[in-house]
Amino acid sequence: MTGGGRTRGHTFYTIKFNGADVRSLSIGTIRGESLSSLKMHKDATEFLHRSVLLQETLDVIDAVSRHNVVDATLGLGGHTKAILEFSPGCSVLGIDQDDAAIMIASKRLERFGPRFTAAKGNFSDVARLVEAAGIGQPDAIIADLGVSSLQFDDASRGFSFRFDAPLDMRMDSSTGGPTAAELLIETDEADIANIIYEYGEERFSRRIARRIRERNESGDPVTTTRQLADLVERAVRRSPKDKIHPATRTFQALRIAVNRELEVLERFIVDAAELLTAKGILAIITFHSLEDRIVKHAFQKLSGKCTCPPRIPQCVCGAKKAFEILTRKPIVPGDAELKENARSRSAKLRAIKKLEPVV
């Protein structure tokens, strides 16, 4: 199968299944098989894999001088592969919560032998996973917050309105947490409106929430992606200038809420900063303003910038200068990358470097 990989423009790959072209098979079909049953033709193990801001990431972490890197969002392994190729003395621990991603990335990276290790888990558990792997303190940690095509292109996961499927949206269904459909049934109208407004920045959030509540009260709640997309499209005024589907923001908001994405991002930054060695670098690629705002403010606090209201006479936020900001402004894709991969347009890369402790 050849596919236009991560929905935000990350991955493109070619796979054969049992010797046959699997263009007609969904990712969900592939996910159900062990990696040993995927027969890769000679180009298949080298996925046509586009990682956003790849060279910029290598540059900002000074990859050639790194020895122990954590890729906290492994995906199909694009950034990890580049680091291992660019820095022969470096080892990488790759973390992902998706079994299929780990299997495919491990196959893709097997030529690096013990220099690559995979661990299953959410990036917010980076401290526990690093300790369990026994790799010691990393000197660089990277995270690419784009969502994998292994999830978006699997209709059964319910992330995309391109497919009519159960409204699930859980990144890791094994956790047993509520699905997006369950969230809409169990949450009152005001809270649904707040979720859609705050996480999706959707100005018609109250109108959408009201229509969801009316469906619930009628005994016919929203349970599929198509039902939700149609409901939002009827509720939202679509301008001819709009470049995205009217349901895009609502789907984003529900995905963030179901997976607690912003909450786990804050936890990840705190733990990753603590894990790093002196002179270690933390680099994060974001794809929407909510993520970028959290990363920007967290990095500012770690660099010692006080975040207290200006009229408070004494600092109470606890900001201490433990890091140097390496990216005063976020690094964004250049013209060449944008031309080749238009979906990279929203990517922003920020990085900080841990200071030597003061003796």
Nearest one of 199, 152, 165, 30 to 99, comparing CA atoms: 30
Evaluate if residue 184 carries a pLDDT over 70.
yes
Q: May I ask the CATH class of domain 152-259?
A: mainly alpha
313-333: average pLDDT: 90
Q: What is the DSSP letter of 332?
A: -
Check residue 22 and give its pLDDT: 30
Q: Does residue 32 surpass a pLDDT of 70? A: no
Residue 36 has pLDDT above 80, yes or no: no
Q: Residue 36 CA to chain centroid, in angstroms? A: 27
Contacts of 302 (CB under 8 A, 6+ apart): 269, 273, 319, 322, 323, 352
How many angstroms separate the Cα of 144 from the Cα of each of 11, 101, 141, 327, 346?
Answer: 12, 14, 10, 16, 12
pLDDT confidence band for 359 (50 / 70 / 90): low
Helix (H, G, I), strand (E, B) or coil at 179: coil
Q: What is the pLDDT of residue 137?
A: 97
From 28-42, 103-117, 278-292, the region with the lowest mean pLDDT: 28-42
Percentage of the chain beyond pLDDT 70 is: 85
Mean pLDDT across the stretch 20-47? 36
The 8-class DSSP code of residue 146 comes to P
Of the pLDDT bands very low, low, confident and very high (cuts 50, 70, 90), residue 233 is very high
The pLDDT assigned to 159 comes to 87
Q: From CA 53, how far away is CA 107, in angstroms rounded?
A: 23
Check residue 14 and give its pLDDT.
34
What is the pLDDT averaged over residues 340-356?
Answer: 92
What angle, rounded to 10 degrees, do the helices at 289-302 and 261-275 form? 30
Residue-wise pLDDT tens digits, 117-164: 999 999 999 999 999 999 999 999 999 998 776 677 777 788 888 889
pLDDT score, position 140:
98
> What is each CA distance from 247 to 16, 35, 116, 213, in whole angstroms?
33, 35, 39, 17
What residue type is 29 in one-letter code? T
| pLDDT score recorded for residue 71 | 98
Domain ranges of the chain: 152-259
Please give the mean pLDDT across all residues of the chain: 85
Per-residue burial over 129-142, b if 16 or more Cβ lie within 10 Å, else e, is bbeeeebeebbbbb
Distance, in Å, from the CA atom of 304 to the CA atom of 322, rounded to the nearest integer, reads 7
Among 30-34, 205-209, 218-222, 331-335, the least confident range: 30-34
Q: Where are the beta strands (DSSP E) in the chain?
A: 2-4, 12-14, 16-17, 20-21, 68-71, 91-96, 116-120, 140-144, 281-286, 323-325, 348-354
Tell me what pLDDT residue 29 has.
Answer: 33
Structure confidence at residue 187 as a pLDDT band (50, 70, 90) = very high
Q: Which residue has the higher pLDDT, 192 or 48?
A: 192
> What local confidence, expressed as pLDDT, does residue 257 receive?
96
- Phi and psi based region of residue 47 (left: phi greater than 0; alpha: psi -120 to 50; beta: remaining): beta
- Distances in Å between the alpha carbon of 83 and those of 34, 72, 90, 215, 345? 27, 13, 8, 50, 23
pLDDT band at 41 (very low <50, low <70, confident <90, very high): very low
- Does 166 have pLDDT greater than 80? yes
- Give me the pLDDT at residue 237, please: 78
Q: What is the pLDDT of residue 149?
A: 67
Higher pLDDT among residues 323 and 12, named by residue: 323
